[in-house]
Amino acid sequence: MGQGKFSLRSSAFPAFPWYPVAKSQLRPGLTLIATPIGNAGDITLRALDALRDADVIAAEDTRVARRLMDIHGVSLEGRPLIPYHDHNAASALPRLLELLHGGARVVFLSDAGTPMVADPGYRLARAVLAEDIPLGATPGPCAAIMALTLSGLPSDRFTFAGFPPNRREARRSFLRDLADIPTTLILYESPKRLAASLADMAEVFGTREAAVARELTKMFEETRRGTLESLAAIYAEEGAPKGEVVVVVGPPPPAEPAGEADVDAALRGALETMTTKDAARTVATALSLPRKTVYERALALRGE
Ligand code: SAM
């Protein structure tokens, strides 16, 4: 693959799979911009271009957006900077939609990371799609993905579960709903609830590998790995850590293969109300066994 001749200007970079992108990709419509999760350097060249080229900038917190723009030398130059968050959506959304219908190039950024990942943006994106306004995004940092990347836990399938509820009973019930999902789990948690939450996970999920990723991309970044029990004990002893945390939990261990006695018990129950074929199919699916083997055993039991 040729290296091509391109400068560090984002617009001159080829997009995957290596074709050049014309200057100013930003089109009329809404573009969701991912921003750094700590280190201001983690913003893409395309995100900066979008911030420069936008007609209107909408932000979860306009002061945070201003600061990021200042760091990167993007000036506002009289463009509207509109606050948009969960509490003002009722008034801000119609205003943004009106601007979008007028053909404006509007960008939206949340305080940190990818909009809509435990952050505002969902209602805005839905409203935009419902009104046939183009929706785009400049991808970038996301704490969940960085924590998964550092966790050393299986990454072929994962479930992002957001923040567990604060109250213990609600949290346990939330965790019980996640317990059987056969993937790695990623959860956001507040540092002050971390120890209690890890203890609940240890109780509800049993022994599983896990990782706590803290202060990602920042000066005191660290990732601790261990079982849920060991991590819960560490944070119970040390107290709430400083900064922001993500918890990553490995998938449940594979279920023990069903033994002959289990198959017979399940088949006897099923044969009381089902045909041999249906009983075999139901039990084979439930126990993840080959249908033919279970059918043969069902025939034998029917004949007894
Ligand atoms: N939209 C963001 C993203 O893409 O990751 C998430 C925003 S959510 C309101 C904030 C939570 O994300 C924090 O409580 C923490 O669980 C996680 N988080 C964000 N930045 C982090 C960082 N630098 N280190 C660890 N966790 C972080």
Residue 120 lies in a domain: yes
Are both 165 and 240 inside the same structural domain? yes
pLDDT digits 0-9 by tens, 121-145: 999 999 999 999 999 999 999 999 9
| C-alpha 146 – ligand 1 centre gap (Å) | 10
Contacts of the segment 20-24: beta carbons below 8 A, 24+ positions apart: 24/49, 24/53
Q: Are strands 184-189 and 158-160 parallel, antiparallel or unpaired?
A: parallel
Are both 157 and 232 inside the same structural domain? yes
Residue 273 lies in a domain: yes
Task: Look at residue 35 and give its three-state secondary structure.
Answer: strand
pLDDT at 3 over 60: no
| C-alpha 43 – ligand 1 centre gap (Å) | 15
CA distance 276 to 267: 9
pLDDT digits 0-9 by tens, 247-266: 999 999 887 778 899 999 99
Q: What is the CATH number of the domain that holds 192?
A: 3.30.950.10
**What is the domain extent for residue 83?**
29-141
Query: Between 4 and 137, where is the model more confident?
Result: 137
Q: Are strands 135-138 and 81-83 parallel, antiparallel or unpaired?
A: unpaired
Calculate the CA 258 to chain-centre distance.
34
pLDDT at 296 over 80: yes
pLDDT digits 0-9 by tens, 76-124: 999 999 999 989 999 999 999 999 999 999 999 999 999 999 999 999 9
Atom of ligand 1 nearest to the CA of 189: 16
Left (φ > 0), alpha (ψ -120 to 50) or beta: where does 244 sit? beta
| C-alpha 30 – ligand 1 centre gap (Å) | 23
Are both 171 and 266 inside the same structural domain? no
Q: What is the CATH number of the domain that holds 90?
A: 3.40.1010.10
Atom of ligand 1 nearest to the CA of 38: 23
Q: What angle do the packed helices 168-178 and 194-205 form, to 10 degrees? A: 40
Q: List, chain by chain if needed, residues with CB within 6 Å of any ligand 1 atom.
A: 37-38, 110, 112-114, 117-119, 142-144, 188-189, 213-218, 244-246
CB count, 10 Å around CB of 70?
12
Are both 156 and 191 inside the same structural domain? yes
